[in-house]
Homo-oligomer: A and B are copies of this chain.
Amino acid sequence: MATAILLISCPDQRGLVAKICDWVFIHNGNIIHADQHVDDRAGLFLMRLEWELTDFSIPRDAIGAEFSQLAATIGLDWQLHFSDRVSRLAIFVSKQDHCLYDLILRQKAKEIVAHIPVVISNHRLLEPVAHNFDINFHYVPITPETKADREQEQLELLQKYEIDVVVLAKYMQVLSANFLQQFKEIINIHHSFLPAFPGANPYQRAHQRGVKIIGATSHYVTEDLDEGPIIEQDVIRVSHRDTIDSMVRKGRDLERVVLARAVRLHLERRVLVYGKPGELRTVVFD
């Protein structure tokens, strides 16, 4: 049963919920999810609205154009998605396979509704995993000297495979500002409870600091390393008995689950990013 999904943001004002819900109602749409949030400090109204396309009086192709008229009168920023337009993911990996397997298996189990036409890696190690599930694999090694060219190659692959979303599933490379300007929907998993332990070797540093809880964080990638808007986090208890190795092992379980939740929330269009550059935050309409 296909649905339309609107993600909306605008300066807060009276009557927004009524006006927007009304628009769906008078066009005979059956709302199955409506959630909104007002960020008082930012004076911002944010909303997610999902309704069934069956019996909706505006043809699918015309919905955007029609809604843009209402949006213009109120001053809305908006995105329109259709639930039956299945997103296409590219998974970037290095040598670790746990998040890659996890995403592929969830996609097979339909927990994550997406196509995964391609895996891209700076190592050949996980090629058999991709092929095992009939996914194309491209080896794109990166050195400081070749980075610019190689990223161009990656971007061409994204275009060729008509990719909507890139998932960095333990891809141990930093994407350049140029790459980020050319491709926007990128989700990363960081193996710490950000903002604790950004950057390299978080488990070692967590062990050294003697924390009693470790975490993992999934976020959108921005030019500020490990500073992008957070989609999901989770944690697990550790003790002095945990070695760095056992922290890594416990962390892998977190990484898998946190990344999968974030990808799923993104694909279901439940995440709205807002805020000033450098202070971007998410609303997660779950």
Measured CB to CB, the residues of A under 8 A from B are 14-15, 17-19, 21-22, 24-26, 28, 30-32, 34-40, 97-98, 101, 105, 109, 111, 132, 193-197, 208-213, 215, 229-230, 232-235, 237, 239-241, 243, 249, 252-253, 257, 275, 279-284, 286
- Please judge, given known A-B contacts A14-B30, A98-B105, A101-B105, whether A233 and B257 are in contact too, CB under 8 Å: no
User: Known contacts A240-B282, A253-B257; can you find 13 more A-B pairs with CB under 8 A?
Assistant: A14-B30, A17-B31, A18-B24, A18-B31, A40-B243, A111-B252, A194-B211, A196-B196, A208-B279, A208-B281, A209-B281, A212-B233, A213-B233
A-B contact pairs, 8 of them (CB 8 A): A14-B25, A37-B240, A37-B241, A97-B105, A194-B196, A195-B196, A195-B197, A196-B196
- Please judge, given known A-B contacts A18-B22, A22-B22, A195-B197, whether A213 and B215 are in contact too, CB under 8 Å: yes
- Please judge, given known A-B contacts A210-B229, A230-B211, whether A241 and B25 are in contact too, CB under 8 Å: no
A30, A209, A229, A232: most-surrounded residue (chain B CB, <10 A): A209
State whether B30 touches A21 (Cβ < 8 A): no
Q: Taking CB as reference atom, which chain B residue is nearest A52?
A: B14
Q: How far is the CA of A195 from the CA of B199 in the complex (A)?
A: 14
Can you tell how many copies of this chain the complex includes? 4
Q: Taking CB as reference atom, which chain B residue is nearest A239?
A: B284
State whether A284 touches B240 (Cβ < 8 A): yes
Main secondary structure of the interface of A (DSSP, over half): mixed
State whether A237 touches B240 (Cβ < 8 A): no
Q: Taking CB as reference atom, which chain B residue is nearest A273?
A: B210
Q: How far is the CA of A209 from the CA of B17 in the complex (A)?
A: 27
State whether A211 touches B233 (Cβ < 8 A): yes
State whether A18 touches B14 (Cβ < 8 A): no
State whether A210 touches B237 (Cβ < 8 A): no
Q: Taking CB as reference atom, which chain B residue is nearest A219?
A: B210
In the assembled complex, which residues on chain B have CB atoms less than 8 Å from the CB atom of A97? 105, 109
Other-chain residue from B21, B196, B239, B249 in contact with A193 (beta carbon distance below 8 A): B196
Q: Taking CB as reference atom, which chain B residue is nearest A237?
A: B237
How far is the CB of A203 from the nearest CB of chain B, in Å? 13
How far is the CB of A120 from the nearest CB of chain B, in Å? 21
Q: How far is the CA of A36 from the CA of B249 in the complex (A)?
A: 23
How far is the CB of A182 from the nearest CB of chain B, in Å? 25
In the assembled complex, which residues on chain B have CB atoms less than 8 Å from the CB atom of A240? 37, 39, 281-284
- Please judge, given known A-B contacts A21-B18, A233-B211, whether A38 and B32 are in contact too, CB under 8 Å: yes
How far is the CB of A119 from the nearest CB of chain B, in Å? 16
Q: How far is the CA of A281 from the CA of B209 in the complex (A)?
A: 7
